[in-house]
A and B are shown apart, each in its own frame.
Chain A
Amino acid sequence: MSDYNNSIETFFYKGEITVELSKPKGMITLKGDLERSNINAGVIKTLELPMPKVRTISRKDGVQISWMAPDELLILVDFKKVEKYIELLEKNLKGEHYLLANVSDARAIFNLKGKGVREVLSKGTPVNMETIKIDDARRSRLGQLPVAFWMVKNTEVELVCFRSVTEFIFNWLKVASAPNSLPRYID
């Protein structure tokens, strides 16, 4: 069988930071009024995680809830368990007004690692990368494209983009993390 899909291996680069396309993850978009206690309870019950505060994530054991907007969450689970989680969520949100959709195929996730990760991203996002903390999430842009990202560690970021621009984002990250290209502004 021919495999013309862009394989994960081709999206690896080591410069000032290490840029790597992550293996597909299960991603679910939930839209709903996050102020409503029933919605909150349904999400917490299903994912066994606290609701993330504004512009943060909550995560445990490979399950993550990322705050995306006052009425939107991005839920990350094992790729194979998406349908199961959607079913559970539907059950636990019954009677509420919400929208749930599997978006695992719609997005690509990059893992960015290294001391320079804050400076690399500062070349393309207007987010204050100096003050952003672990578990903070931002829905922003990188150069000309929309992205979302969160701080996994002080020197590690997970970045989500639309799948159709995976290659463009990868090339962007490659250019931005070229050796000796950091301003050495953020410690």
Chain B
Amino acid sequence: MSSRLSTGGKLIDRSLSKEFMFNGRRLKGFEGDTLASALLANDQVMVGRSFKYHRPRGIVASGSEEPNALMETGSGSKLEPNQRATTTKLFDGMRVKSQNHWPTLEFDLGAINSTFSKFFPAGFYYKTFIHPRFAWKYLFEPIIRKAAGLGNAPKEKDCDTYEYFYAHVDLLIIGGGIAGLAAASSAVKSGLKVLIVEQNDYWGGRAIVDEINIENGSGSDWIYQQVKSLSNEKNVNLRLNMMAAGVYDHGYVLLHETLTDGSNKKMELRQRLWRVRAKQTIVATGAIERPLAFAGNDLPGVMLASAVRDYLVNFGVSCGDRTVIVTNNDDAYRTAILMKNAGLEVPCIIDARPSVSESLSKQVQSLGIKILTGKAVSTVTGSKRVEGVAICSHAGSGEVLETVACDCVAMSGGWSPVVHLWSHCGGKLEWDKKNYMFKPDLTSAPLGANGEGMLTVAGTANGFLISRDVLSDGYTKSKEIIKALTGKVPKISMEKAHSGDESEILPVWFMPQGATRKLKSKTWLDFQNDVKVSDVELAAQEGFESVEHTKRYTTLGMATDQGKLSNINGLAVLSNSLNVSIPDVGTTTFRPPFQPISLGAIAGEARHELFKPIRKTSIHNWINANGGVWEPVADWRRPFCFQRNGESIKEAVEREIVNTRTNCGILDASTLGKILVKGPDAARFLDMIYTNVMSNLKVGKCRYGLMCSENGFLSDDGVVARLSDDSYLCHTTSGGSDRIHAHMEEWLQTEWWDWKVYTLNLTEQFSQIAIVGPKARQLIEKMGVDGLDLSPEGLPFMGFSEGFIAGISVRIFRISFSGELSYEIAVPALKAQEFWDLALISGEEFEVMPYGTEALHVMRAEKGFIMIGDETDGTVIPQDLGLDWAISKKKEDFIGKRAQMRSFMKSENRWKLVGLKTIDPSVVLPDGCYAVDGESNSYGHKNMIGRVTSSYFSPTLERSIALALVENGPDRMNEILNFPNLDGSVTKAAICDPVFFDKEGKNQNV
């Protein structure tokens, strides 16, 4: 059984005990435990079920590479699924559940999948669930989704907060092991700004466990001293609990910092995503031990040899009373020695190599541990945990020679440098023929903006497996980088680690080397995604020669651990099956994040009220307090209508329209874009931007203008006012101001860079308040005007003046989007609320009422005015909308002119703007519905001949009205069209003039 030993445990504090619940069981751990070490201390060896076959699974590793021990922690707004037990800190009162089983971890009905495993080979989805076609969507997929998968998504909102932090450093060092610390200490005197980060909550990495010697002391002491002296340096920042998630172009590195363990029940700042710009980065991320592939290697109790000693040394936890070691290299011998020295049994070391000779093996033999060379595991026995191993010759096919009882199997298949970060941004890999692993190809580094390497690798991550070389590489690499950054070679004393030589590794990708198919189909490569040696071989047999294809076919390495343990073994099995070398098979692409990071951290502070910026006009708060029903318009909020007591929205809209047409309405039109265009070439510029002529506009006058894209499509519209000879104020749609400003700047900066024009977006400087209706003039005059003549002659339609109203400086435009007598008054934004209040007071006797966007829309539709975004959708040209009058025929050029000459644009059959009146005047056509001609095309689709673009009930006309684009529409006046509805019924409507109300314009010309 696995248990806590009475002594030992470098990372735990035995004086502080912690209670936690696992699947409803009350268990105990210590301060400093990870969830994994605490579970093992309580003999909880089985911790989950596998993805596909629901096989019992135990803890394999001790770090971020762990594939099996994924847990659900917390509850309610603190619930988090898929937490790695090996990297999750234990806290008092923690609640933990295992995942992916039903009804319980011990008895899982899904385990029946394992019995039928031969029906679930690689690619079984693609092969099995093809027929009948409908069944995939309704039957197979729902069942598979239920059976497979990891934790449950939280149902409650996450109560914690997250944030970003931007940092700029000269040198970023990722990894706080001996190589990383050596690099940091080299940089101390350089004056460089250094940040060194470590994903664990302690410094030193493996050196803490694998007692190495540096100079005259222990590795642990050296680490302590280094960290202590680095902490005093002003130019060095050390941070724990910080995982480098990704490396991107231009030295941009994403770091994920964990701030709390989740024990606080209240809201807290939980994680911080660091966005670091580093001039240079040193990656010293160490290596990950590879599992060995043998039958039954997924049984709980089969663990990485390094993990077994991590639990022993760091947490005082024995993973088993009798541990059998299986290896192809010397490193696992360290586990044997430590276990034996801790008073635990190590019945034997099964070493696939024919002979071993170095110092470690001698040490092992002196402890009385049997070494079985040239041997392999035929199979692991036991059902829910290891009970023993059946031993065979590695050279054979698996014939059992003897069986040894044990409760833990510590395996080592060698080490793989953590090359992920090197690879994220384009670093290439090379195959190390001596150590059988991929390591960074230093001649092909990720390049920075200057075309030179922006990142290097040091220590174990660079392929050095012996402490002596690791430390020395840490110094060497940092020296090179410091020289590159400062131009000076730093003077540093390179301290030395002492380590003996080790015997060579034997490449073993599965064992025994002649394993039968039966054994291979019980031999796991990818624990998390349930991929076996037989699956990869099958993929190869079926022609999946590319590693990328094999990956997707078998799902090898596609789980949340991104195949940290399975990758190389999988590649090797594939290369073996294809009979090509491993480097020729190549690797799949390593992508960020190195470890999964929470969606909360990615979202950062952008949630709740900070999710999306909302722009507010000066009148916003008044509208909010006075019945405004909000709708989003671009990033603004505008009132759809103002609801009064007991009114429905429809009633409110109708009241606002009727009142505006009979008395007076007031509208907050501040969101309207206002771009100032100034310069000697302003007129010439606007002649290019607009389809009509703006250069002949008189000062003091306004003109409605259209803007098209280069492809001729209508892009925006609005009124242009000529302020002076060389300056214009261009009004855009509410949603268009930033886009049109950018459009103008793009043309000015890229195409007409030599034209003398400046533009400035003044949208927010002015609030625009429209006073609309037959009594508008009386109202404004009542407010008190100074320097303004509001008479029809003094301020005629499409004119503007500057002066004062109620003592407030204004620019008043006589323009109309409703067909009524209408003034739009621009006031400084900070004065807008005051102006609004005064207008309402003066307007009382004229029965002034505020109106919203819907009333605005209905009134403009009654007049047949188009709306960008309703009548246009990016495929509509002004000519479609009967706006030919606003397209200059005289101008040599304007943006969109050439495109509008294309044959399709000039086609007779384009859909053109018309009005529609339903036969039943009370029926309002659905927005966007289509007219059909009764015929069908060759696919059996009904022929569509038109589309409704705007549709309203007009209280003015007491009937429904609509605008539509209809094929040859204007030539089909009075024709009745059929609009099929979703319920099968058909609405009939007659084509009419798009101007429904006051075609002569007598209402606005008063």
Chain A positions near chain B (C-beta within 8 angstroms): 1-6, 24, 29, 31-32, 71, 97-99, 101-107, 119, 122-131, 143-145, 162-168, 171-172, 175-176, 178, 180-181, 183, 185, 187
Residue of A nearest to B809 (CB): A83
- Establish whether residues A4 and B164, one from each chain, have CB atoms under 8 Å apart when the complex forms: no
- Establish whether residues B833 and A5, one from each chain, have CB atoms under 8 Å apart when the complex forms: yes
- Establish whether residues A106 and B621, one from each chain, have CB atoms under 8 Å apart when the complex forms: no
A101 cross-chain contacts in B, Cβ below 8 A: 676, 760, 762, 765
Task: Report how far A3 CA is from B765 CA in the complex, Å.
Answer: 19
Task: Report how far A2 CA is from B833 CA in the complex, Å.
Answer: 9
| CB-contact partner of B616 in A32, A103, A122, A167, under 8 A | A167
Task: Report how far A127 CA is from B165 CA in the complex, Å.
Answer: 11
Task: Report how far A172 CA is from B611 CA in the complex, Å.
Answer: 10
A104 cross-chain contacts in B, Cβ below 8 A: 765, 828, 830
- Establish whether residues A168 and B605, one from each chain, have CB atoms under 8 Å apart when the complex forms: no
- Establish whether residues B613 and A168, one from each chain, have CB atoms under 8 Å apart when the complex forms: yes
Nearest CB on B from A1, distance (A)? 6
Task: Report how far A98 CA is from B316 CA in the complex, Å.
Answer: 76
| CB-contact partner of A4 in B237, B604, B625, B759, under 8 A | B625
Interface centre among A1, A106, A124 (most CB of B within 10 A): A106
Nearest CB on B from A9, distance (A)? 14
A interface, by DSSP: helix, strand, loop or mixed? loop
A2 cross-chain contacts in B, Cβ below 8 A: 622, 833, 837
CB of B129 within 8 Å of the partner chain? no
| Given A102-B765, A104-B828, 6 extra CB contacts under 8 A | A5-B830, A31-B758, A123-B605, A143-B606, A144-B612, A172-B605
B676 cross-chain contacts in A, Cβ below 8 A: 99, 101
- Known contacts A4-B621, A105-B828, A172-B605: does B166 contact A126 (CB below 8 Å)? yes
B609 cross-chain contacts in A, Cβ below 8 A: 168, 171
A130 cross-chain contacts in B, Cβ below 8 A: 167-168, 193
- Known contacts A1-B834, A4-B833: does B762 contact A106 (CB below 8 Å)? yes
Count of B residues near A, CB < 8 Å? 54
Nearest CB on A from B588, distance (A)? 32
- Establish whether residues B679 and A97, one from each chain, have CB atoms under 8 Å apart when the complex forms: yes
Interface centre among B613, B617, B679 (most CB of A within 10 A): B613
B62 cross-chain contacts in A, Cβ below 8 A: none
A107 cross-chain contacts in B, Cβ below 8 A: 764
- Known contacts A5-B830, A106-B829, A183-B165: does B758 contact A32 (CB below 8 Å)? yes
CB of B520 within 8 Å of the partner chain? no
B161 cross-chain contacts in A, Cβ below 8 A: 175, 178, 181
Nearest CB on B from A73, distance (A)? 12
**27 CB < 8 A contacts A-B:** A1-B837, A2-B833, A4-B622, A4-B833, A5-B621, A32-B758, A71-B758, A98-B758, A99-B678, A102-B765, A105-B765, A106-B762, A123-B164, A125-B166, A126-B166, A128-B166, A129-B166, A130-B167, A144-B613, A163-B829, A164-B636, A164-B764, A175-B163, A175-B610, A181-B163, A185-B167, A185-B239
Interface centre among B257, B269, B619 (most CB of A within 10 A): B269
- Establish whether residues A172 and B615, one from each chain, have CB atoms under 8 Å apart when the complex forms: no
- Establish whether residues A106 and B765, one from each chain, have CB atoms under 8 Å apart when the complex forms: yes
Nearest CB on B from A24, distance (A)? 6
Task: Report how far A145 CA is from B606 CA in the complex, Å.
Answer: 12
Task: Report how far A160 CA is from B758 CA in the complex, Å.
Answer: 22
Residue of B nearest to A121 (CB): B166
Task: Report how far A39 CA is from B451 CA in the complex, Å.
Answer: 39
- Establish whether residues A4 and B617, one from each chain, have CB atoms under 8 Å apart when the complex forms: no
A29 cross-chain contacts in B, Cβ below 8 A: 760
Task: Report how far A187 CA is from B234 CA in the complex, Å.
Answer: 9
A176 cross-chain contacts in B, Cβ below 8 A: 163, 605
- Known contacts A102-B765, A105-B765, A178-B269: does B760 contact A131 (CB below 8 Å)? no
A168 cross-chain contacts in B, Cβ below 8 A: 609-610, 613-614
- Establish whether residues A164 and B616, one from each chain, have CB atoms under 8 Å apart when the complex forms: yes
Can you list, as one digit per residue, whether each of B540-580 has a CB less than 8 Å from chain A (1) or not (0)? 00000000000000000000000000000000000000000
Residue of B nearest to A124 (CB): B164
- Establish whether residues A103 and B765, one from each chain, have CB atoms under 8 Å apart when the complex forms: yes
B616 cross-chain contacts in A, Cβ below 8 A: 164-167
7 A-B pairs closest in CB distance:
A99-B758, A164-B615, A105-B829, A106-B764, A106-B765, A4-B622, A128-B168
